[in-house]
């Protein structure tokens, strides 16, 4: 049901169904006849979940900043008013549930989260609420950022470090009877910002229970990590192993070189060195601002430059190294829904390609 805690990737096709929701055909435009009854319109149930902790979530939790946004939900940082505990709350708007299959997906996501045991490498389920407007899924708050961002920051992992990550992913996959169906670096978060923080799987919105002997046909997931069997509409738990293999390749080879043509990588490195006036291997706010202004047709406002710099400054040291600067191009599509950042990124796209 969209991104759980991490920022959603607008370029990914989250779900492709076998048919459209309430499609309009020529037959629908013809007068009704007794021999061709209309398909009943979907009526969203007043209650989606059979069981919940109630509807008074706003009396028990204080909602804070937005953490991420997906196809069906928005995730917020929340605090338990009584205990002070901070959690992540995924709010799934009922107005987005436009077909019975959407309702089933929400029910299954909650069921899977309840089913999964307390595990150091799975985001913990806390509780679920439902009112007339939305379902509120409460989970452990992970503040260490995405695996994707650490890959970009490191450039690539050593084989030993990659083995630790992959072992974690493989353990999560099917030990608890669930096919994740959307394994990718963005769906793994670190519990905190330390180097030794546990890595946790998130976003079970597309997951499904393993059924012995049953093959699945629904096309779901993210194209870059999707197994061929998904497109053939005949798959089981092996598709998670394929996705894990893609993640391993990225861990060992690095994201930047894999996602950008060689000439763009070379061009970005050259651009970085031209902006780095004092040749100390990092860009200050002023150097980035001056460099962007020299590329564009008009000056870029300070707030836009600041937003761009903060988005790329993974280690939060106030300057950008070459890898962080190149990450700007890698993340272009991932945050292209932000008008301010899109405007800033246009300064990099000199030939509009």
Q: CA nearest 44: which of 3, 108, 93?
A: 93
Indicate the SS3 state at residue 186. Answer: helix
CA distance 154 to 168: 19
182 is annotated as an active-site residue = yes
pLDDT in tens, 213-252: 999 999 888 877 889 898 888 999 999 999 999 899 888 8
Cβ atoms < 10 Å from Cβ of 257 = 13
Cα-based torsion angle of the residue sequence 110, 52, 100, 105 in order, rounded to the nearest 10 degrees:
-10
With 0-12 / 13-18 / 19 or more C-beta atoms within 10 angstroms meaning exposed / middle / buried, residue 234 is exposed
Q: Looking at domain 260-345, does it have CATH number 1.10.238.10?
A: yes
Say how many CA atoms lie within 13 Å of 236 toward its Cβ: 8
pTM: 0.61
CA distance 101 to 58: 28
Longest CA pairwise span in the chain (Å): 81
Q: What is the pLDDT of residue 20?
A: 29
pLDDT in tens, 57-83: 999 999 999 998 877 789 999 999 999
Q: Which residue ranges make up the annotated binding site for ATP?
A: 90
With 0-12 / 13-18 / 19 or more C-beta atoms within 10 angstroms meaning exposed / middle / buried, residue 76 is buried
Cβ atoms < 10 Å from Cβ of 70 = 23
pLDDT in tens, 296-306: 555 667 877 77
Cross-strand bridge partners of residue 68? 75
Contact (Cβ atoms closer than 8 angstroms) between residue 5 and residue 67: yes
- State the alpha helices, DSSP H only, in the chain: 26-29, 57-60, 100-115, 147-154, 159-174, 228-231, 238-253, 255-259, 262-275, 285-295, 302-312, 322-330, 339-345
pLDDT in tens, 20-71: 233 333 344 344 444 445 556 777 787 899 888 888 999 999 999 999 887 7
Q: How far apart are the first and last CA of the chain?
A: 32
The tokens for 243 are: 């996705």
Catalytic choice (182, 203, 313, 323): 182
Q: What is the pLDDT of residue 236?
A: 95
Q: What is the pLDDT of residue 158?
A: 87
Selected residue with higher pLDDT from 153 and 107: 107
* C-alpha pair distances (Å), 34 with each of 31, 37, 38: 10, 6, 10
């Amino acid at each position: 049901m969209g991104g759980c805690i991490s920022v959603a990737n607008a370029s990914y096709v989250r779900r492709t169904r076998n048919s459209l929701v309430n499609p309009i055909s020529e037959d629908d435009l013809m007068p009704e006849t007794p021999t061709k009854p209309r398909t009943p319109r979907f009526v969203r149930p007043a209650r989606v979940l059979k069981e919940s902790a109630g509807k008074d979530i706003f009396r028990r939790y204080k909602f804070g900043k937005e953490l991420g946004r997906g196809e069906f939900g928005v995730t917020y940082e929340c605090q338990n008013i009584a205990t002070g505990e901070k959690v992540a709350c995924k709010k799934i708007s009922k107005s987005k549930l436009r077909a019975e299959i959407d309702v089933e997906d929400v029910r299954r996501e909650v069921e899977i989260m309840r089913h999964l045991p307390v595990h150091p490498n799975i985001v913990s389920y806390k509780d679920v609420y439902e009112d007339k407007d939305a379902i509120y899924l409460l989970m452990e708050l992970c503040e260490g950022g995405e695996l994707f961002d650490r890959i970009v920051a490191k450039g690539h992992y050593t084989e030993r470090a990659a083995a630790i990550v992959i072992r974690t992913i493989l353990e999560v996959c099917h030990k608890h009877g669930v096919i994740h169906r959307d394994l990718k670096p963005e769906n793994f978060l670190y519990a905190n910002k330390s180097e030794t923080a546990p890595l946790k799987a998130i976003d079970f919105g597309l997951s499904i229970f393993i059924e012995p002997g049953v093959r699945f046909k629904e096309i779901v997931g993210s194209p870059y990590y999707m197994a061929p069997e998904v497109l053939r509409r005949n798959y089981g738990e092996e598709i998670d192993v394929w996705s894990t293999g893609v993640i391993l390749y990225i861990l060992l080879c690095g994201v930047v070189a894999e996602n950008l043509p060689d000439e763009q990588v070379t061009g970005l490195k050259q651009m970085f060195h031209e902006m780095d006036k004092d040749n100390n291997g990092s860009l200050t706010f002023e150097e980035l601002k001056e460099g962007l202004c020299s590329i564009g047709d008009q000056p870029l406002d300070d707030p836009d430059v600041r937003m761009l710099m903060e988005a790329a400054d993974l280690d939060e040291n106030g300057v950008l190294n070459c890898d962080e600067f190149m990450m700007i191009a890698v993340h272009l599509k991932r945050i292209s829904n932000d008008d301010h950042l899109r405007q800033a990124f246009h300064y990099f796209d000199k030939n509009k390609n």
